[in-house]
Amino acid sequence: MRITNQMLTNNMMSNINKNKYNLNKYDEQYSTGKKIQRPSDDPIIAVRALKLRTNMVQLNQYIDKNIPDALAWMDVSESALKNVNQLLTDMNSYCVDGSNDDLTVKDRNSIIQNLLELRTQIYQEGNANYVGRHVFTGYKTDQSLTYSSADDLAREKYNITEDFKGTDLESVTKIIGSYTVPGDTTTITPGLYGDAPTTIEAYRLRLSYGSLGDKGEVSCNLSYKKADGTSVGFGPGFPASATNNYQILNSTDLVGGKSAYEVGDDEVRFLADTGEVIIGKNVYNEMRNATDISVTYDKLQFSEGELRPENFFDCSKYKVGDDGKIQKDGTGNPVIDVEYTKEDQKIEYEINFGQNIAVNVQARNAFSHDIGRDIEGLKALADDVTATEKKIAEVKKLREDGNNSAVTNEALDKLLEQMNTELVLKNSALQKGFSSAITSTQKQQEKLNIAIADLGSRYSRVELTENRLDKQKTDFTDLLSSNEDVDIAEAYINLSMSQLIYNASLSAASKAVSNTLLDFI
């Protein structure tokens, strides 16, 4: 094969360029510390690097942002729940003190005042928020759990559906036959006070809210299914045979001279001022084993500190006009502004690849209306005792009047006797109320402890995930370095060798092309 000068020159230049390319490659590796500078240098390393870098970005998102945010949310929730637990413990202690036989009504009123403050603080803990987001209200993070003084309470009018079980039915003791202080003592006789106050047992469902509104404006319905599957209902939305057996009253109303709590065996009464459904004996016997017990009722007035119903029940918010009254459509039915459905509203954070975890505790799983209702009931009982003591003091003052006739004094003595009987009964009812509140606070603590335990288990899962991701980040960092980073010592050796080879190729080339035709002429 004939080798021309041109072929020799071309081969020489090609080899020099190859050596120069290698020298440049190893120089870049040594300067940057990376194996490749562009994907075309090694597509496999490039693809692997992109995947590893994407994983690292996700890991950093989980470790630096999502997990700390999730843990902070749960820290706020746990702190609030633990505060509530301590408040319930204090409340339970007060109830134990209140059930003591030796206490006066003044002592019990003082205890009740403390209980009211504790109740307010318990519900206030439900307004805990994390960076402006309320943690117990599900998706409605911009809304507090309770009504505050800043809310336009006059515009808050709801229709609420509350579900019950047969075990929610309870017996309540009421005192009837009490007497008032006579305004004119000249006409009284002992015969007017012959019947002593006594107690009756009534069956009831206690709604989560009291003070529903004016009895002439509120609507209430009760429905349930009997053991045989037959549906029964009481209220305006049910057949006439059922609606004939119900009434909407206030607890102080008299029906045929009898207390509103003295209900017929087949009757149901809705008490708008106390939020109670009083049930007749026959209805009670059916409902004890019934299913799908539901009460739908209006709540047309709220107070500061009350729990918002949309966090606990299926409910509808009425549309209210500028005059504060519910707006009606063309057929006279109330206009619904917003409908709320009771559902799981879990706020989830992605804390790992394809792993989400709920960080919130929903209000209905940690808070209860029962605490507030129990304290309200104790206050009502204490007010009754105080009112009775006041009546006794007024009658005693009348008895001390020296101008009374013997008949008048005999009548006043009889009245005092009956009022003292009433006082004994009401004190006993108040004491039983405290005893019942002890059980109620214990049940609420049990419910709360379940919520705290559930939150704690989720918190532990997040911490375990964080620890695992920290290890994964270390592993991914090593893999990324192994994939991309060059061995500096090896790179230096390669650079030195390529530089030596390049210089040698230049030297060889200079010898090969140093002679020309002129050197032989």
Task: Answer yes or no: are the C-beta atoms of 342 and 312 closer than 8 Å.
Answer: yes
* Confidence band for 278, pLDDT divided at 50, 70 and 90: very high
Rounded to the nearest integer, the mean pLDDT of the chain is 88
- Cα separation, 454 vs 180, in Å, equals 54
Q: What is the DSSP letter of 4?
A: P
* Confidence band for 78, pLDDT divided at 50, 70 and 90: very high
Listed residue (210, 322, 318, 199) closest to 274, CA to CA: 210
With a cut of 90, say whether residue 260 has pLDDT above it: yes
Token look-up 């997040």 returns: 462
Task: Pick 229 or 219 by higher pLDDT.
Answer: 219
Burial of residue 83 (CB within 10 Å: 0-12, 13-18, 19+) is middle
Q: Which of 37-46, 104-113, 256-265, 420-429 has the lowest mean pLDDT?
A: 37-46
* Confidence band for 272, pLDDT divided at 50, 70 and 90: very high
Task: Pick 2 or 289 by higher pLDDT.
Answer: 289
- Cα separation, 174 vs 177, in Å, equals 10
Q: Which of 21-25, 69-73, 286-290 has the lowest mean pLDDT?
A: 21-25
Token look-up 């630096």 returns: 64
Maximum CA pair distance of the chain? 169
Enumerate residues 6+ apart whose C-beta is below 8 A from 471: none
With a cut of 80, say whether residue 38 has pLDDT above it: no
Tens-digit pLDDT profile for residues 468-479? 999 988 887 777
Task: Pick 50 or 242 by higher pLDDT.
Answer: 50
The β-bridge partners of 234 are 222
With a cut of 80, say whether residue 39 has pLDDT above it: no
In terms of DSSP bridges, do strands 268-271 and 246-249 run parallel, antiparallel, or are they unpaired?
Answer: parallel
Tens-digit pLDDT profile for residues 287-309? 998 888 999 999 999 999 999 99
Q: Quote the pLDDT of residue 40.
A: 67
With a cut of 70, say whether residue 351 has pLDDT above it: yes
The mean pLDDT value for 50-74 works out to 88
Q: Quote the pLDDT of residue 422.
A: 94
Rounded percentage of the chain residues whose pLDDT exceeds 70: 93
Enumerate residues 6+ apart whose C-beta is below 8 A from 210: 273, 274, 275, 276, 373, 376
Q: Which of 6-10, 155-159, 449-453 has the lowest mean pLDDT?
A: 6-10
Q: Quote the pLDDT of residue 317.
A: 95
The mean pLDDT value for 242-252 works out to 82
Enumerate residues 6+ apart whose C-beta is below 8 A from 185: 398, 401, 404, 408, 411, 412
The mean pLDDT value for 256-272 works out to 92
The β-bridge partners of 202 are 172
With a cut of 70, say whether residue 41 has pLDDT above it: no
* Confidence band for 240, pLDDT divided at 50, 70 and 90: low
* Confidence band for 519, pLDDT divided at 50, 70 and 90: low
* Confidence band for 435, pLDDT divided at 50, 70 and 90: very high
With a cut of 60, say whether residue 243 has pLDDT above it: no
Tokens representing residue 320 in the block: 């209210």
Q: Quote the pLDDT of residue 29.
A: 66
The mean pLDDT value for 70-79 works out to 96
Q: Quote the pLDDT of residue 517.
A: 56
Buried b (16+ CB within 10 A) or exposed e, 316-354: bbbbbeeeeebeeeeeeebeeeeebebeeeebebebbee
Tens-digit pLDDT profile for residues 441-500? 999 999 999 999 999 999 999 999 999 999 988 887 777 667 666 767 777 787 788 778
Residue type, 143: Q
Q: Quote the pLDDT of residue 402.
A: 76
Task: Answer yes or no: are the C-beta atoms of 147 and 308 closer than 8 Å.
Answer: yes
